[in-house]
Structure 1
Amino acid sequence: MSKRWNPGTVAAPVGRYSHLAQIPAGHELVVVAGQIGARPDGTLAGPDAEAQTREVLANIERVLAAAGAGPEHLVKVFSMVAGAEHLPGFRAATGDVFSRWFPESDWPTQSLIVVSALAKPELFVEIEAMAAVPR
């Protein structure tokens, strides 16, 4: 299992993330492309950031499963939110899902940026991820 932690030499994280993740020998790095809030049939999960974020995270679970992994293998999450007005919905969804995925608060490293737009105007959230999967 990857080691995730926060060294005492820097300020504590301001959210649900760890400052460091270390991948041990015998693991394979799996890189997940930016996922959007589209259901498997291609329809958008909803017209708001919370619904889209929940579907984005479900998509991450699906693609990780296809690689023989799960959320517990995540070492890096990179989130893009199209406009600060969508942060409350994004945070509500990630808070719920991350609490389920990481019940011991062993968060992966994470970065969040607010952007002016994503690839289409109806998209509010896109998330990329990396996982370390035991061979």
Structure 2
Amino acid sequence: MDTFPNQLLHPAHWKAAKGYANGVLGEGRTAYVAGQIGWTGEQVFETDDFVGQVRQALMNVVDVLAEAGAGPEHMTRMTWYITDKKEYLDRLSEVGEAYRAVMGKNFPAMTMVQVAALIEDRAKVEIEVTAVVPVR
């Protein structure tokens, strides 16, 4: 983890997690980021590409966290809602590259769920985050 201020929770006898944490313990102010989809702050989709929408949704999360004086290193929980599990799995390496480019090496506790659809018809992914920002 880059400068992850929260404690990762991982039982010693468990197999190592890849790309996420099994749990995170934090102390400070809590920021809750509503589900962010792959459109810009102007609510415009610039692409229908799955990985492009992932990247934009992650950038939106970073923008909202910044409003709390936080960054990706403060994330403790992330939930992804995707509309196509196969596309996600087929493009996993590209998703990982986009994730690391925006979020760095910060891997909170994560859950991913395939859903039938999202409210915005063009949306292929929605990501919500909880972050714990240390009190300064």
TM category (shorter chain) comes to 0.7 to 0.9
Post-superposition shift, 1:114? 0.9
Asked if 1:109 corresponds to 2:112, the answer is: no
Whether the 8 Å contact between 2:78 and 2:128 is mirrored in structure 1 is: yes
Cα separation, 2, equivalents of 1:71 and 1:95:
15
Unaligned stretches of 5+ residues in structure 2: none
Change (3 A) 1:90 1:56: farther
Tell me which residue corresponds to 1:63: 64
Which amino acid in the other structure matches residue 8 of structure 1? A
Q: Aligned Cα RMSD in Å? A: 1.9
CA contact (8 A) 1:77 1:130 kept: yes
Mapped to 1, the partners of 2:99 and 2:120 lie a distance apart of 26
Match of 2:16 in 1: 12
Q: 1:88: Cα distance to partner?
A: 4.2
Tell whether 2:81 aligns with 1:80: yes
- Compare 42-51 and 58-67 and name the one that shifted more: 42-51
1:84-103 per-residue CA deviation (whole Å, 9 max, x = no partner) reads 23314763454124434343
Give the partner amino acid of 1:121: D
Unmatched runs of 5 consecutive residues or more in structure 1: none
Alignment partners' CA distance in 1, 2:69 and 2:24 = 20
Give the distance between the partners of 1:93 and 1:29, measured in 2 at CA. 30
- TM-score by length of structure 2 reads 0.85
Number of positions where the alignment pairs a residue of Structure 1 with one of Structure 2: 130
Instruction: Normalising by structure 1, report the TM-score.
Output: 0.85
Partner of 1:39: 40
